[in-house]
Each structure stands twice: as C-alpha cells, then as structure tokens.
C-alpha cells in the first residue's frame, strides 16, 4: 500500500512499490488523462508534475513519489476554468489526435512556471515530447500566446 | 439504438402533403406519417445523417473515423452547409458498424484511409443535409398550410416571409421525420460560391476534452468488471507458439489466466494491465520461429537489387520507345535509390476491448474502419452479424495502421472467448507495437535517363523493385498480378497522375515480396516515389545545366495543375532570388490522392552533416477546401511524419524479426527540429482531392534537393542517419 497525494487529494493505492506512477494513476486511481506511449521515458505522453517539476511517470516507481505532490492533467483546470496553457491550446487548436497533448501541456505548464517568457531556444530545450500527428507549429504558437497571457 | 426507416413512395408523399396543406389553418399540427427512426435519446432522425432534438440541438452522424485529421469537423461542416442549421448547436455521433449493416449501409463506407474521408463522402453527406432541410421546411409549411416554396431556412430557423411566421428546426423535427425523404435527383445542392460554412476555418468540434484528460481513447476504456490483457505474438511472422509455462506466473499478483491466442500468441489476463505485463515478461515462452527465421535486411536488399535487372516487370506508364531513347541520348544518367521499412508508431499502441458470450460479441476499438473491425469481430467470434457489435472509440493516431488491419481485434476476441462474459481490454506494449507493425513497404529504384543535345529529358526508365502491399493484404485487388498502388504518383492520369511528359517513358515494377507484412503508411507509396522522381529530376537538371524549376517546367506544359502549385511555391519562396546567407533551396512536386502538391524547402548544413530545415513553403490544390485551418495543420503535421521518416526511421530485419522496438531506436522529430511551414491553399474547384496524406511526399525530396544544393552530395538510400546526417 502506497499513500499518494494526487491533485490535492490523499489516495491509498494497493500496488507493488515498483509499479510505475503512470499505472497507479491510470489503473488504481482512475485518472486516464495521463497516457502510456513508450514506457521508457522517451515520448513524454505520461508527463505529470511531482512537487511542481515535470516527470515522466512511466519510469517513476510509486515508492519514489510517496509524500510528494503529484499533479496530473485532470488537476490543472479548477472548477472547469482552463489554465492559460489550456486556453492557448484551445484558441490555437493545437491537438490533432490529442493523445500526446496531456503530456505536452504538463511539460509546457512546467516550462512557463520556470520561464514565464520562454524564447524559441528555451522551448526547443525543454519540450522534447513526441507528437506523431506533428502539432509542433501550433504548440510553439500556443506557448508564446500563453506566455503573453 | 437506431431502427429502420420504412420507405414511403413519392406518390404517398404528394397526397400526404396535399392533405396536410388543405386541412391546416391553425398553425402547427400533430405529426403524421410512419414512426421515424430515433437516436438513443429518442430524438427523431430526419435523414440518416441528421437528428434534431426538441431543444434545436443538431446531431450530425459521422461515418468516417476522427483520428486527429479533422474529418469529423469537416464532414459536419458539409452536412450543416446544406442543412442551414445553427453551427453553434451542432454535435456529432458515430453510428455503429452493426447498425450500418442492419440498415443496408445507409451511411456508406466507414473506411478512413487514402485521404478519402471527405472527398469520397462529400456528395452524399451534403445531400443528406439538404434532404433534411427540405423535410424540415416542408414540415413547417405543412403546419402553416402554405407552399414550401414560400418558406426559407437559415440558422435552424424556418421563415414564411409572406406572413412573417417563424419556427425552429426543433419544433418541426417530429413532423419532418415522418415525411418521406426526397430522392437524390430532387435535391439541388448549393453552388460552391454560395457556401457559407464550407471553406471557413471554423473551430474543431473535438478540442476541449483533449486538453483536460477527459477524452477517452481505446486504451483508456473502462467497463464494469473489466480485466486487462497483455500479449506477445510470435516475434517472427510465420512463427508460432511451441510452448509456455503458465504455472510459473499463475501465482503472481492479479493474474487471472494465461491463454494461448490462436497459433501465434500468448496473453496474460490480470486485474490491471501493469500486472499482466509484469507477468507476461516473466512467462517462459518457447517459439517456433518458422520458415523465415534466417531472413535479414541484407538478404532482402539482395533480392530487391536483383529485381532492378529482372526481365519481367509490371508496367504502369509507357510512351514512345524507352530502349531506343536511352540508347540515342546525348547524355545518359543512372541513379539507384533504396527506401526502408517503417513503422506507423501511433502514439497510442494498438488495443481493443472485447466481451464475448455465445450469444453476443461486442468490441470497443479505436479504428479507422469500423466495418473492417466488425468483420474481424465476426470472424474471430464465429457469431453472425446480428449478434455482434463494434463501438468506435477515439484513436490516438491511425496513419494507416488502424485501417486495413485489425489483428488486435482478432486477438482481443480470441482472448475474450476464453473469459466468457467478462470484458477484457487488450493493450499492446510499445515493444509489441513496434515489432508487429504493418510496415511501409520496402523498395529500391533505378532511374535511367537520357538528355538530348538541348538538355531536354528525352527518355526515362523508372524501375521499381520491391514489395507490394496489395499482394499481402488484398490479393484479389491485383490486376493480373500487377499492384496499381505501387505506382502512386506515376500513372498516366487519374488521382495519382505523373506530372511530366517524357517522349520515351517506361515506369515498371518488379514485384519482390519479403515475409515482413506491409501496410498502408500515411502517404503510402507516393513517399518514396516522390523521392525517386523528384531527386532524380534535380540530378537531371544539374546534368543538363538547367535550373531545376526551369527543367521541370519544360516537361510540365501539359500538366497545368501540377505546374500551378510548383510555380506557387517557387514564387512564395523566392526561387531564383538570393536566399539568406548559407541557406539553400530545393523543390519537389507530385500529385497524390487526387490533389496537386509542391514544396520548396530552405535548408542550411553545418559541418557537412547537421541539417537545419528553416522553412518549407507548401502549396496544395485539393479542388475544394472545407476547413483551411485544418488543412494547414495536416500539411505541417504531415511534414513531421515525412521528415521523421527521411532522417531517422528504418525498421531493419535480423533473424526474421524487426529489430527496432521503441522510440530510442526508432526516433521521431521533436519541436526543436520543426521547420516553419507556410501553406498555400489554392483550390481550383471542379474536383475533390485528399488532404491528410498528399503533402507528406514533397517534404523529403525538397529537403534532399536543398541538401544537395548545399553540399553537392546526393544521398540515395534512407534514412539519412545511416549516412551520419542529422536533423537539427
């Protein structure tokens, strides 16, 4: 049994401590917005925040995040009010299939907290998520729009 | 659940209309006519494509699959344009394949591939919208006792101008649904110049849930009592399971059952997928690798190489006498190319959920072709169509992998049959997905050409050697053994028409089919055909000492639409004018999936191998553009797919199996490598071309031609990483 704090709520999950956080979120807690893409921290579809920092949850064992604050895509909008990143994503119609976008939005949200006005070079360095639909042009536009607020 | 709509004759309609008109002076009357088909919530179906709720909500039925390409929104625009409804009140729903079968395919084809989603359904969905509008107007007119011709519809409101009366679609929907449907020949569609919604960049209908984690993909599906399965299929195609030791994992946490899946697979069923995967990884399995266990990439390449010289080949395009033309040229040029296997690598790995009992089999699956998934369900369950159903779930990418192939549906049903009554979700690991693809087919190509004394192309022989997709997946579609799909972009005409006139021409194909299973991969065969043709055109231009644009123009005088898009990108990119310092340009054009496309790439190269693609200007003429914002996204997105393939993607074969099993060995472009993409949409009207695929093919040759302009080097085998060349 591990005790996790997810989107502000304490959750007990009955899993082997080596279970990746991704699968505890998806299968024990029922938060399926965080996606499985590769399982080896390559694609970033599983990105969540642990104590505010972006983490690839597919390789993060549950045992390593006990007692830490975990935020998932479901924890961003409060009472249905989109964050500025989500709003920019909506305005710029970023998603195509959308499968990678939870991770993309989590990675960008963390970037903007760190660098409120990122340059293109900052974006290139921080955002390494794979998107097979190829939404990068809209992702970049939306990041700049979100940064302008 | 939808039910069948009884047919009412035209004569009965006229009588009914007259009766209604004669008896009504007091406003809206009670509905007449047979009970209409209804949506699940009871709202009446006006036509198969349109349901209208009492609150004026318009539900538009979408038969094709949405997988990110925007087809759902585009198809809704087409229906809504003719329906004259309030766009703000539009929602969509998928009819199921089982309903389509039960209703004699009233929604037509569900297949969503070949860039067909819009172009092949645009006519009948617009007619479906127009018919519904006519019925709604007729119902209002009947209610008012006035001729329908005196009434008009706009934004879901019907107006009788002479009396000033108004009503809404929601109020007359019940009555409209009981009217007979007009026949196709009675429906007059709008002139394109009068379109108000088609051609506008209206917002997609399906964005919000993708931003909050709410969108349910196949991999996210949850059903009461559901178990989860992980699978390993034979790593070598043609191999099978010899044995496995279920006892070794039976006691592991969460494990419910270990099952064989057909002759070739083993699955672990557990409470959670992670438990199933952990147990599967611990499960001893002995494989019989079958007859292809010794096949390697080198062996496949040797077989294809032999095909370049083979005397027998299938011909697609022929003019003059190529042999004489090649012999008589002033200058001769030969170049050989090779293009590898590639995996679709959708972000969401293959999956399907099935529940089986001897009385009923249901499948929930992200699919590009609900009807093909339905056929796979019937075959695997052994049950008839009226005892099966498929529910389409949103796709985390398709790109062709989820269209013609439903191996994961077959597996899910075979697993569910061993757990009767219990829904089981089968999800492939990324590794399983990578080594069980339906790969972009492998080919080689020899281009042989002659230039005359004036530097014009006088003879061209294009010999393709390699794999046929149809021979593997649809052999009945071969034309006396010939696979027409191989020749995409190379045909004398049609939707894959060759854009050049060459006096002595031969384009042929020596079919060589390795055991690796091929499939339709976004853009399909036009990807490598465009590289072969367009890179060689640049080589020829160079040999002739002629500017590559001018060299092409001379061959394109009889292909004005091909030429128009090429000219458009040349002009926008500033072809012929100096590029920024260190930047070099390359061109390419092609016709594919009914659309004309061209690109001009701007590239700089550092240290001889670090390629920066600064900008790609792209033009497309798809005849009509339904949603320009989404077309632009398809263009930019297709370049990510195409450039990832060009620089980094290859599936190699060793011991009969694919070697690349995850993104570390099968890389995909990141945002840092993304060029600025400028799209020129130039629909010329009169035909409907595709959008999702055509443009992908011009990115690679345009970049390669720019690379050659920068370095003087012609790379002819792919991906570029094999030559130490990186996209930065």
Contact A126, A107 (CB under 8 A): yes
Nearest to B298 by CA among B689, B662, B656: B656
A32 touches chain B (CB under 8 A): yes
B453 and B367 part of one domain: no
Q: Which of residues 88-107 of B touch A (CB under 8 A)?
A: none
Q: C-alpha angle with apex B665: B303 to B586, nearest 5 degrees?
A: 75
- Residues facing residue B611 across a β-bridge: B605, B727
Burial of B60 (0-12, 13-18, 19+ CB in 10 A): buried
- Phi and psi at B388, nearest 5°, equal -125, 155
From CA B101, how far away is CA B378, in angstroms rounded?
12
pLDDT-derived band at B32 (thresholds 50, 70, 90) equals low
Which of A23, A74, A137 is nearest residue B212 as measured by Cβ atoms? A74
Task: Tell whether the model's pLDDT for residue B16 goes beyond 60.
Answer: no
Mean pLDDT value of segment B272-289: 98
Query: For testing the chain A interface, which of B213, B282, B396, B425 should be mutated: the one with the most A CBs within 10 Å?
Result: B213
What domains lie within chain A, and their CATH numbers?
Answer: 2-75 (3.10.20.30), 84-148 (1.10.150.120)
For the segment B297-319, the average pLDDT, to the nearest whole number, is 98
- In this structure, the strands spanning B676-681 and B610-621 are parallel
* Residue B204 placed within a domain: no
Interface test with A, best of B65, B72, B206, B212 (most A CBs within 10 A): B212
Secondary structure letter of residue A143 according to DSSP = H
- Residue B62 dihedral angles phi and psi, to the nearest 5°: -120, 115
B680 token code pair: 């020129």
CA angle B559, B563, B566 (to 5 degrees): 150
B141: helix, strand or coil: helix
Does B286 share its domain with B417? Answer: yes
Question: Is the pLDDT confidence value at B200 over 50?
Answer: yes
Statement to judge: residues B627 and B688 lie in one domain? yes
pLDDT-derived band at B18 (thresholds 50, 70, 90) equals very low
What is the DSSP track for B581-604? Answer: TT-EEEEEEEEETTEEEEEEEEEE
Which neighbouring-strand residues pair with B440?
A: B342
CB contact under 8 A, A130 and B214: no
Note whether B406 and B523 are same-domain residues.
no
Nearest 10 degrees: CA dihedral of B638, B641, B644, B650? -140
What mean pLDDT comes out for the span B497-501?
98
Distance CA B708, CA B715 (A): 8
Q: Closest Cα partner for B389 from B419, B417, B422, B361?
A: B361
| Pairing of β B424-427 and β A9-13 | unpaired
Q: What total number of domains does chain B contain?
A: 3
Q: What is the reported pLDDT for A68?
A: 97
Q: What is the rounded distance in angstroms from the CA atom of residue B450 to the CA atom of residue B325?
A: 7
In terms of domains, do B277 and B423 share one? Answer: yes
Query: Is residue B535 within 8 Å of residue B717, measured between CB atoms?
Result: no
Percent of chain B with pLDDT over 90: 94
Please name the residues between 665 and 694 in chain B that touch chain A, using a CB distance below 8 Å: 668-672, 674, 676-677
User: What is the C-alpha separation between B78 and B192, in angstroms, rounded?
Assistant: 11
Predicted local distance difference test score (pLDDT) of residue B33: 74
* Alpha carbon distance B355, B363 (integer Å): 7
Contact B631/B625 with Cβ under 8 angstroms? yes
| Two structure tokens written together for B115 | 């860039």
Considering the domain architecture, whether residues B312 and B416 belong to the same structural domain is answered as no
- Interface check for A101 against chain B (CB to CB < 8 A): the answer is yes
Burial class of residue B672, CB neighbours in 10 A (0-12, 13-18, 19+)? middle
**Are B207 and A38 within 8 A, CB to CB?**
no
Chain B from 261 to 320: CB within 8 A of any A CB: 272-274, 278
| Chain B residues within an 8 Å CB radius of A96 | 68-70, 633, 637
What are the φ/ψ torsions at residue B276 (nearest 5 degrees)? -65, -40
On the question of pLDDT at A72 being above 90, the answer is: yes
Residue B8 has pLDDT above 60, yes or no: no
Asked, for residue B197, whether it belongs to a domain, the answer is: no
> Where do the H-state alpha helices sit in B357-468?
370-381, 407-416, 430-435
Domain assignment of residue B198, yes or no: no
CA B184-B185-B187 angle, to 5 degrees, is: 70
| Residue B164 falls inside a structural domain | yes
- Name every chain B residue with its beta carbon within 8 A of the beta carbon of A127: 670-672
Among B363, B394, B427, identify where a domain stops: B427
Distance CA A106, CA A73 (A): 7
- For residue A14, how many other CB atoms are within 10 A of its CB? 10
For residue B33, being part of any structural domain is answered with yes
Whether residue B17 has pLDDT greater than 50: no
3-state secondary structure of B237: coil
Q: Indicate the average pLDDT of chain B.
A: 95
Element (H, E) at B83: helix B71-83
Contact B651, B341 (CB under 8 A): yes
Segment B135-154 shows an average pLDDT of 98
Distance CA B286, CA B26 (A): 80
| Distances B149 to B25, B187, B293 between C-alpha atoms, Å | 17, 14, 72
Pairs of CB atoms within 8 A across A/B: 173
In order of B52, B58, B99, B123, the CA distances from B105 in angstroms are 21, 22, 8, 16
* B112/B253 same-domain check: no
CB B724 within 8 A of CB B609: yes
The reply to whether residue A23 touches residue B274, judged by beta carbons under 8 angstroms, is yes
What pLDDT does residue B587 have? 98
Q: How many residues does this entry show for chain B?
A: 728
Is residue B676 one of the residues assigned to a domain? yes
Q: Which CATH number covers residue B273?
A: 3.30.365.10
Interchain CB contact of B67 with A (< 8 Å): yes
B102/B22 same-domain check: yes
Tell me what percent of the residues of chain B surpass a pLDDT of 70: 96
Kindly identify which residue of chain A lies nearest to residue B210, measuring between CA atoms. Answer: A98
Chain B CB contacts of A93 below 8 Å = 203-204, 207, 629, 633
Neighbours of B205 (CB within 10 A): 18
Residue of B nearest to A16 (CA): B253
- Same domain for B79 and B173, yes or no, is yes
* Residue B140 placed within a domain: yes
Q: Which pLDDT belongs to residue A1? A: 84
Task: Write the pLDDT tens digit of every residue in B481-493.
Answer: 999 999 999 999 9
Given this model, what pLDDT does residue B494 score? Answer: 96
Determine whether the interchain pair B347/A89 forms a contact, defined as Cβ–Cβ distance below 8 Å.
Answer: no
CB-CB neighbors (< 8 A) of A82 in chain B = 211-212
Q: A80 CA to chain B: closest CA distance, Å?
A: 9
Structure tokens at B141: 């007119």
Measuring CA to CA, which residue among B368, B307, B426, B350 is closest to residue B113? B368
Name every chain B residue with its beta carbon within 8 A of the beta carbon of A23: 272-274
pLDDT, tens digit, for every residue of B706-718?
999 999 999 999 9
Distance (Å, whole) CA B294 – CA B198: 54
Looking at B379, B405, B427, the residue that finishes a domain is: B427
For position B72, what pLDDT does the model report? 97
CB distance A134–B68 less than 8 Å? no
Q: What is the mean pLDDT of residues A76-105?
A: 97
Answer with the residue of higher pLDDT: A149 or A137. Answer: A137
* Residue B4 covered by a domain: no
Give the range of the structural domain holding residue B485, as residue numbers without chain letter.
Answer: 297-342+439-727
Residues 6 or more apart whose CB falls under 8 angstroms from that of B305 comprise: B444, B465
Which one of B671, B675, B691 makes the best mutation probe of the A interface by having the most chain A beta carbons within 10 Å? B671
Question: Given B397, B427, B457, which residue is the final one in a domain?
Answer: B427
Average pLDDT in the B239-251 region? Answer: 98
Q: Do A133 and B220 touch (CB under 8 A)?
A: no
pLDDT at site B447: 98
Cα separation of B536 and A84, whole Å? 48
Strand partners, B105: none
Pick from B214, B274, B629: CB nearest A93: B629
Rounded mean pLDDT, B690-695: 97
Res B636 pLDDT > 60: yes
Q: Answer whether B203 touches A (CB < 8 Å).
A: yes
- Residues B251 and B177 reside in one and the same domain: no
Contacts of B210 in chain A (CB under 8 A): 95, 98, 101
Nearest CB neighbour to B215, from listed A20, A28, A98: A98
Residues of A in contact with B638 (CB under 8 A): 134
Complex ipTM, two decimals?
0.98
Which residues in chain B (313-352) have CB-CB distances under 8 A to chain A? 345-349
A121 to each of A102, A125, B577, B590, B673, how far by Cα in Å?
A: 22, 6, 29, 34, 11
B406 shares its domain with B507: no
Same domain (yes/no): B573, B502:
yes
Q: Which helix (H) or strand (E) holds A99?
A: none
């Amino acid at each position: 049994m591990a005790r996790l704090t997810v989107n502000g709520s304490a959750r007990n999950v009955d899993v082997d401590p080596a279970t990746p956080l991704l699968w505890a979120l998806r299968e024990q807690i029922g938060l399926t917005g965080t996606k499985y893409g590769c399982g080896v921290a390559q694609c970033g579809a599983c990105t969540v925040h642990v104590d505010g920092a972006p983490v690839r949850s597919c390789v993060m064992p549950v045992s390593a995040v006990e007692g830490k604050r975990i935020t998932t895509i479901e924890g961003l909008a409060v009472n249905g009010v989109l964050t500025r990143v989500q709003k920019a994503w909506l305005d710029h119609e970023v998603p195509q299939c959308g499968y990678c976008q939870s991770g993309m939005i989590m990675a960008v949200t963390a970037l903007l907290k760190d660098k409120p006005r990122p340059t293109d070079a900052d974006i290139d360095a921080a955002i390494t998520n794979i998107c097979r639909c190829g939404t990068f042009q809209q992702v970049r536009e939306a990041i700049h729009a979100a940064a302008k607020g | 659940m939808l039910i069948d709509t009884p047919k009412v004759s035209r004569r009965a309609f006229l009588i009914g209309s007259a009766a209604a008109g004669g008896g009504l002076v007091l406003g809206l009357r009670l509905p007449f006519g047979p009970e209409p088909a209804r949506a699940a919530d009871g709202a009446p179906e006006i036509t198969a494509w349109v349901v209208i709720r009492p609150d004026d909500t318009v539900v538009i039925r979408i038969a094709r699959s949405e997988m990110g390409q925007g087809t759902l929104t585009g198809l809704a625009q087409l229906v809504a344009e003719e329906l004259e409804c309030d766009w703000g009140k539009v929602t969509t729903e998928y009819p199921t394949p089982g309903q389509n079968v039960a209703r004699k395919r009233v929604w037509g084809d569900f297949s969503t591939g070949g860039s067909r989603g819009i172009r092949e359904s645009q006519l009948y969905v617009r007619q479906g919208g127009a018919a519904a509008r006519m019925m709604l107007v007729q119902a209002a007119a009947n209610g008012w006792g006035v001729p329908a011709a005196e009434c008009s519809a706009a934004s879901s409101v019907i107006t009788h101008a002479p009396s000033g009366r108004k009503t809404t679609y929601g109020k007359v929907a019940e009555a409209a649904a009981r009217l007979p449907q007009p026949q196709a020949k009675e429906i007059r569609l709008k002139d394109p110049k009068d379109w108000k919604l088609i051609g506008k960049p209206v917002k997609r209908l399906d964005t919000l849930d993708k931003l909050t984690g709410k969108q349910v993909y196949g991999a996210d599906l949850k059903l009461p009592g559901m178990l989860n399965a992980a699978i390993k299929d034979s790593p070598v195609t043609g191999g099978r399971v010899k044995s496995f030791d279920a006892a070794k994992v039976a006691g592991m946490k969460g494990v419910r059952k270990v099952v064989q899946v057909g002759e070739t697979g083993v699955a672990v069923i557990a409470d959670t997928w992670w438990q199933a995967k952990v147990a599967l990884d611990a499960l001893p399995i002995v494989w019989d690798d079958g007859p292809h266990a010794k096949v390697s990439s080198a062996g496949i390449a040797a077989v294809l190489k032999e095909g370049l010289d083979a005397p027998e080949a299938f011909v697609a395009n022929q003019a003059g006498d190529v042999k004489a033309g090649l012999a008589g040229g002033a200058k001769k040029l030969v170049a050989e190319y090779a293009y590898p296997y590639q995996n679709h690598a959708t972000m969401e790995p293959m999956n399907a959920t099935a529940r089986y009992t001897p009385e009923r089999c249901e499948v929930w699956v992200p699919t590009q072709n609900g009807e093909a998934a339905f056929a796979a369900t019937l075959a695997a369950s052994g049950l008839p169509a009226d005892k099966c159903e498929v529910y389409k779930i949103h796709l985390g990418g398709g790109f062709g992998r989820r269209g013609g192939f439903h191996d994961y549906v077959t597996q899910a049903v075979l697993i569910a049959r061993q757990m009767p009554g219990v829904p089981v979700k089968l999800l492939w690991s990324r590794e399983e997905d990578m080594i069980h693809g339906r790969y972009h087919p492998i080919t080689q190509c020899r281009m042989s050409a002659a230039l005359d004394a004036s530097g014009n192309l006088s003879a061209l022989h294009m010999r393709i050697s390699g794999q046929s997709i149809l021979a593997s997946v649809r052999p009945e579609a071969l034309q006396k053994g010939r696979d027409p799909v191989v020749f995409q972009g190379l045909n004398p005409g049609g939707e894959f028409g060759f854009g050049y006139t060459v006096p002595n021409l031969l384009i042929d194909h020596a079919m060589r089919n390795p055991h690796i299973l091929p499939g339709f991969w976004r853009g399909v065969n036009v990807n490598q055909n465009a590289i072969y043709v367009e890179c060689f055109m640049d080589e020829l231009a160079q040999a002739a000492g002629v500017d590559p644009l001018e060299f092409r123009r001379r061959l394109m005088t009889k292909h004005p639409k091909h030429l128009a898009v090429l000219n458009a990108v040349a002009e926008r990119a500033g072809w012929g004018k100096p590029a920024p310092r260190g930047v070099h340009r390359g061109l390419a054009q092609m016709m594919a999936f009914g659309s004309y496309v061209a690109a001009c790439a701007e590239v700089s190269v550092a240290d001889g191998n670090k390629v920066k693609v600064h900008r790609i200007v792209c033009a497309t003429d798809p005849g009509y553009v339904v949603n320009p914002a989404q077309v632009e996204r398809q263009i930019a997105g297709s370049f990510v797919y195409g450039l990832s393939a060009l620089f980094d993607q290859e599936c190699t074969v060793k011991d009969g199996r694919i070697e690349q099993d995850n993104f570390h060995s099968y890389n995909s472009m990141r945002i840092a490598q993304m060029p600025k993409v400028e799209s020129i949409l130039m629909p010329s009207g009169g035909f409907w071309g595709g959008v999702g695929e055509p443009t992908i093919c011009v990115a690679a040759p345009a970049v390669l031609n720019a690379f050659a302009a920068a370095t003087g080097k012609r790379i002819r085998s792919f991906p570029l990483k094999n030559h130490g060349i990186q996209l930065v």
